[in-house]
Amino acid sequence: MDTRTLVVMTGAIFILPFFMFSALAGQLADRYEKSRLIRTIKTTEIAVMGLGAAGFLLGDYIFLLVVLFLMGTQSAFFGPLKYGVLPQHLTREELTGGNGLIQMATYVAILGGSVLGGVLASLGRSAPVAIVFSVVGLALAGRLAAQYIPVAAPNEAALKIDFNPFTSTWALMNDSRQNRELFILISLISTFWFVGATYLSVVPTFGKELLNANEQAVTLLSAAFTLGIGVGSLSCERLSRGQIELGLVPPAAVLISIASFDVWLAGTPLRSAVQLTPETFFGYPPALRVFGDLTLIGAAGALYIVPLYAALQARVEARFCARMLAALNVTNALFMVVSAGFTLLLFQLGVTITQLFGIVAGLNLAIIMFGMYLLPEFRQRLKIRICN
């Protein structure tokens, strides 16, 4: 199998559990005390990483794909707990800041994992042992951190669990559509994952083929997105003025599209005659320009998604909170799968990477305009912010 096929297959294997188990995960998170569940799931992660360690030492790729599926399963069960526990430990005024920290930490971890994975994989014969110590060590650190999570009472202790993944997922998605306002919030959050997944999937190709950057310099482009997410997440609480501010969402969406249009307007950059390294990357104007655009997309993305998460947590009925967040997990996974298919289709039609940025920018603007039409609160809050 070629590398591109393997990359697509591994992505599909990791996302599949979110479709299969998110509904059950949401039910369990609403049915039982959350801190204990989190500790149980983090303990399970140590076992899964132990299996991963065995897979790396044996050099068995098929076994590692099974481990990847188990890791996706663990993540599917952890998601509703991670976001569902916040409303029980934070006040309404603190939800924006709490979600901002969660988003920042998530993207820093994604970037850190990508960089660390590349570094460890380049160690040659020492790579398997180094990977084993890293993944098991990180799992142990996560379990230790989970020990300090305060008790969070069940949302609905009498809930009857449906273990059938098909009927429970169908019922969950039907329930998520009953509340029109919450369904709009879920759809807009998933739109961000669509945009983010699309951009992050083409950034490595952009760096290598269009800019002639080496692996380390390409990482800087991914770091730009993460840097933006961090800045935007930390700024969100201050800009929200201690409340859940949906008025930030429309201008943030517009900023995402403006930065994306700039990548399109720049066109296909003149390929550097000498391969770019981290030392020479910022001295090459096209590279500096796209770095700035990706940083702005990340910052605006945080200002877009953090208020939406906080609003969803604050407005959903408490007894149904984790299940609604599980429905969000399913929708996010669906939008990421659609993103992959959408990107492949555009490339088959001959669309360039920079043109793809322009197309996604237009789609993003259309979606936020439609969202403002469906939920007038966006327009009302934006008008109040402008007037004040």
332 vs 2, residue with greater confidence = 332
pLDDT for 358: 93
At 51, is the pLDDT very low, low, confident or very high (cuts 50, 70, 90)?
A: very high
112 vs 331, residue with greater confidence = 331
pLDDT for 364: 92
**DSSP character for 160?**
P
**Three-state helix/strand/coil letters over 225-285:** HHHHHHHHHHHHHHHHCCCCCHHHHHHHHHHHHHHHHHHHHHCCCCCCCCCECCCCHHHCH
Phi/psi of residue 213, nearest 5 degrees: -100, 150
At 73, is the pLDDT very low, low, confident or very high (cuts 50, 70, 90)?
A: very high
Place of tokens 């142990």: 140
**DSSP character for 158?**
T
How many other C-beta atoms are found inside a 10 Å radius of the C-beta of residue 297? 30
Tell me what the mean pLDDT of segment 126-142 comes to. 89
How many other C-beta atoms are found inside a 10 Å radius of the C-beta of residue 184? 18
Structure tokens at 223: 């770091």
Structure tokens at 296: 């702005």
Distance CA 68, CA 212 (A): 31
At 1, is the pLDDT very low, low, confident or very high (cuts 50, 70, 90)?
A: low
Q: Which of 256, 264, 222 is nearest to 358 (CA)?
A: 264
Q: Using one digit for the tens of pLDDT, what is the confidence trace for 286-324?
A: 889 999 999 999 999 999 999 999 999 988 888 888 999
At 4, is the pLDDT very low, low, confident or very high (cuts 50, 70, 90)?
A: low
Q: Using one digit for the tens of pLDDT, what is the confidence trace for 241-251?
A: 778 888 889 99
Q: Is pLDDT above 70 for 3?
A: no
Task: Say what the pTM is.
Answer: 0.86
Q: Is pLDDT above 70 for 277?
A: yes
pLDDT for 2: 63
Q: Is pLDDT above 80 for 196?
A: yes
Percent of the chain with pLDDT over 90: 38
Q: Using one digit for the tens of pLDDT, what is the confidence trace for 19-40?
A: 899 999 999 999 999 999 999 9
Distance CA 275, CA 211 (A): 8
Tell me what the mean pLDDT of segment 234-258 comes to. 87
Percent of the chain with pLDDT over 70: 98
Q: Is pLDDT above 90 for 221?
A: no
Tell me what the mean pLDDT of segment 47-62 comes to. 88
What value does the mean pLDDT of the chain take?
A: 88
DSSP string, 342-353: HHHHHHHTT--H
With contact defined as beta carbons under 8 Å apart, do 274 and 280 qualify?
yes
Q: Is pLDDT above 70 for 46?
A: yes
pLDDT for 138: 93
pLDDT for 60: 86
> What fold characterizes domain 3-149+167-387?
Growth Hormone; Chain: A; (1.20.1250)
How many other C-beta atoms are found inside a 10 Å radius of the C-beta of residue 111? 19
